[in-house]
Structure 1
Amino acid sequence: MPKLRDEEMWVAACVENALLGVHVRQHDDGAQPSMYDLDLVRNDVVFGAMEVTAAADAASIEFWNLVNGSNNRWVDSDLAGGWLVTVTSTTRAKRLKKDLPGLLRAMEAGEADHQTVTGRMTDLGVVSAHQGSTDFPGSIYVTLQQDAERTGGAVPLTGNVLVHWFDEWIEKDAQRDNVEKLRTAELPEKHLFVLLPGFTTAPFGASDVLMRPDGPLPEVAPRLPEGITNIWFMSTWTTGKLFHFGHGGWTRSVKVLEVARS
């Protein structure tokens, strides 16, 4: 049987903490196609199906993993370091890894024409590059430029933005498989758990309420498609709370931040 993914283990721990007396077990053992992820169990009886998904910007995450995905910090021994570099989402990671250190060395040495270096950085997809103090000589930190809608805006007073976004997002073709897995489960309760990672397709107002310690709950009900009885939302940042909409309306729960791998 394949092991649970890390995010599924985290979700399981958070749901068990939120629902008194409920245990979460692996359901998708790979024995059949299109199995939902997790069983919800109470008094040794499976009463619910849960599917875990993420509203993720796949292209941005892929780029981030290519540049920063290893456990090792990006360090160039010929640099003083402390560079924070912002690039566009269309930047080619391999070319950036190859050419950026040389351009940063030229900037540190002050030997190259500033306009020439700036032009070459722009060609690489670099939006900005700033150097600051660092405890790690030679370090280069790369982050992605994102749409303004995803990175900032007015702080919402209610969680309604989250619901309005979900109502549109769940209708997209990419979510049909998740909904279908739950729809065909012959169980009383069918839960969809939606993670919002750092690089998410959701707007700022939706992700903000999940990251704030005092993030307000929505005041409206989501439009749940046939096959879903409950919806959960959680940011992958360590801050914020877990939001759950079920038969009793909206509730908020704390996150479990330390999960033991079985």
Structure 2
Amino acid sequence: MKRQWTGWGAGQQPEPHYLIQPRHLAGGGDLRHVTEFLRASGWKDKSTTGGRIVFDSTDRTVRVGYDPFTQPGGWTISGKPTAQQDAWHAALGRQVPVEIVAGFTDALTQTRSAHAPNVWAPLQQQGWGTERDRHFTATSPDGDAFVQFHTSSTGEAQWFAGARTEHGRTWDATFTPTTPLHLIQAFTTALADPQPVMRPRGHVPPSHRIRTTSVSVLPSELSAWQQARVTAARTATWARNSWATTRPRRTPTAGPYAAPGTRARR
């Protein structure tokens, strides 16, 4: 017997939505696309009712926040210094599509790949042009979005990204030089994804530079799509926790140069 999500029923009516391309001009979207994935991944919800959204990672080294009240507001993601990583910070404007924000924040919950990250590869694979002078810049095929590795006159490096329409700059994103590159690659992968994103009627940006396709969606379909994403996060979290608690522990063996009474480094 198939499970029925809340809202399924014979009397439900389809709701008008729009598929929007390119995704970098689709507008902010539903914040729950980001927050419910973090919650399902075991992150602690520290938000206040009617206030800022705040989520802390399970080890309390990373915080994701969203502030709708101040200017410019938007997303802030910060990592505390650890033995392996310097402190870092990322700021993404409130009009960065949640699907692109999620590319970055989802990666925070996942095991880091052993492969060396390449921020530019996802952009080049989708036909983004690149230009190198004092900085290195990748520009979307429509010319309305960019990613730049910027070096100041003092030698300080920083990552920037942004998008614009005929009305001006739509959003900006900045990443400190210490931001882990695999997270920035996750961001550029989501940014360059050619798949459209969906917005409900009344939430389509007023721009002639976007392409829209009208679709009718049942509330049950929306619920099922959202639940599938949450279920994927819960499953991945359970698998990681299960592996961490059941894998055999190795007894460290003292090496030939270990000092008496110390444990050899692994």
Query: So what's the TM-score if we normalise by structure 2?
Result: 0.21
- Which has more strand, going by share of residues? 2
**Between Structure 1 and Structure 2, which shows a larger proportion of helix residues?**
1
Structure with more relative contact order (C-alpha pairs < 8 Å, separation 6 or more): 2
TM-score (norm 1): 0.21
